């Protein structure tokens, strides 16, 4: 047992074994000796193959970003890990149909804990049941799982701007959504609503429309907003 735990060099073990066989079995037939050597090489190959397979699995797991229950923030930045939020608590005050749909999302997360769409859906159900902190945790985690996805940022913009009343984080997330999907008119419209309704800042509203028009100069929605803001 100690031999396999310490894993000494395979070549050294082979030499020692051959010497032992020759020493204790000088009258052993060549056929038997050959069988022993073949069995030894076979066992060595199986051990080597197991090591290679384990290394490949470890590499694939690391590259996927999943490591001991944590998730990489991005594949190119420094490794940054956060603990996944608890997704098992029940909704309070939700309808039967909403609870049923919510439980299906939880069931999926038990199987696929890194499914971004499920975390986004989880946040939506939590927000509908007035669990704003739970929604915030779900969407922040979704943004870590899929940093290129604009939806978590857009959802967080609404959550911070209209429910948690943190205007700084709201603006940051609205702008992040635009950065991730700059040709989606919807994100500009959301940001303009926030600037007009919450911040009461027509200058910023006009600026974000102009930013969109630089990329989409013929966009009818943005042109209409530009004329309205003048």
* Ramachandran class of 88: left when φ > 0, alpha when ψ lies in -120 to 50, beta otherwise: alpha
- Give yes or no: residues 56 and 100 share one domain: no
C-alpha count within 13 angstroms, C-beta hemisphere, residue 113: 15
Residue 74 lies in a domain: no
User: DSSP letters of 131-187?
Assistant: -HHHHHHHHHHHHHH-TT-SHHHHHHHHHHHHTS--HHHHHHHHHHHHHHSTT-HHH
Same domain, 150 and 91: yes
Query: Is the Cβ–Cβ distance between 125 and 101 less than 8 Å?
Result: yes
**Among 210, 204, 202, CA closest to 226:** 210
Which of 86-100, 121-135, 160-174, 201-215 is the least confident region? 86-100
166-178: string of b/e by CB count within 10 Å (b at 16+)? eeebbbebbbbbb
pLDDT of residue 225: 95
Which H or E run contains 122? helix 116-128
Q: How far is CA 114 from CA 122, 131, 138, in A?
A: 13, 21, 11
Q: What percent of the chain has pLDDT over 90?
A: 57
Q: From start to end of the chain, where are the E strands? A: 66-67, 70-72, 81-83
Average pLDDT over residues 196-225: 97
Q: What is the pLDDT of residue 87?
A: 85
24 pLDDT band, cuts 50/70/90, is low
CB of 151 closer than 8 Å to CB of 138: no
pLDDT score at 41: 65
Residue 73 neighbours by CB under 8 Å, 6+ apart: 79, 80, 81, 82, 144, 147
Report yes or no: 210 and 230 within 8 Å, Cβ to Cβ: no
Distance between CA atoms of residues 122 and 116, nearest Å: 10
Structure-model confidence comparison of residues 50 and 141, the more confident one: 141
Q: Which domain holds residue 55?
A: 2-63
| pLDDT tens per residue, range 2-15 | 333 334 444 554 44
- 111/207 same-domain check: yes
Which single residue is written with the structure tokens 């966009």? 219
* pLDDT value of position 95: 84
**Mean pLDDT, the chain, integer:** 78
Q: What is the pLDDT of residues 76-134, one digit of tens each?
A: 333 246 788 888 888 877 788 888 999 999 999 999 999 999 999 999 999 999 999 99
Tell me the Ramachandran region of residue 201: left when phi exceeds 0, alpha when psi lies from -120 to 50, beta otherwise: beta
Q: Is 75 or 221 the better-scoring residue by pLDDT?
A: 221
Confidence category of residue 168, pLDDT binned at 50, 70, 90: very high
Domain with 222 in it: what CATH number? 1.25.40.10
Q: What is the pLDDT of residues 40-82, one digit of tens each?
A: 566 666 655 555 544 443 333 333 333 223 233 333 333 246 7
Same domain, 102 and 207: yes
pLDDT for 56 equals 44
Listed residues 48, 63, 78: the one ending a domain: 63
* 59 and 166 co-located in one domain: no
Least confident segment among 68-77, 178-187, 188-197: 68-77
Count how many domains the chain has. Answer: 2
**pLDDT at res. 54:** 44
| Shared-domain flag, residues 109 and 39 | no
């Amino acid at each position: 047992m100690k031999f396999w735990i310490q894993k000494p060099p395979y070549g050294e073990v082979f030499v020692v074994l051959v010497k032992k066989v020759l020493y204790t079995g000088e009258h052993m037939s060549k056929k038997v000796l050959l069988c022993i050597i073949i069995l030894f090489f076979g066992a060595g190959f199986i051990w080597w193959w197991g090591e290679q397979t384990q290394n490949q699995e470890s590499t694939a797991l690391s590259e996927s970003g999943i490591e001991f229950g944590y998730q990489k923030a991005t594949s190119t930045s420094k490794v940054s890990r956060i603990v996944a939020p608890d997704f098992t608590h029940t909704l309070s005050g939700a309808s039967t149909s909403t609870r049923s749909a919510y439980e299906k999302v939880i069931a999926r997360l038990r199987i696929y804990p890194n499914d971004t769409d499920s975390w986004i859906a989880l946040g939506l159900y939590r927000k509908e049941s007035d669990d704003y902190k739970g929604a915030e945790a779900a969407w922040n985690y979704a943004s870590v799982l899929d940093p290129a996805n604009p939806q978590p940022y857009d959802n967080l913009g609404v959550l911070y701007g209209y429910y948690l009343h943190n205007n700084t984080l709201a603006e940051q997330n609205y702008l992040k959504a635009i950065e991730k999907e700059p040709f989606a008119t919807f994100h500009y419209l959301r940001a303009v609503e926030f600037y007009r309704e919450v911040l009461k800042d027509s200058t910023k509203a006009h600026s974000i429309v102009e930013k969109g028009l630089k990329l989409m100069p013929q966009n009818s929605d943005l042109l209409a907003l530009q004329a309205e803001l003048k």
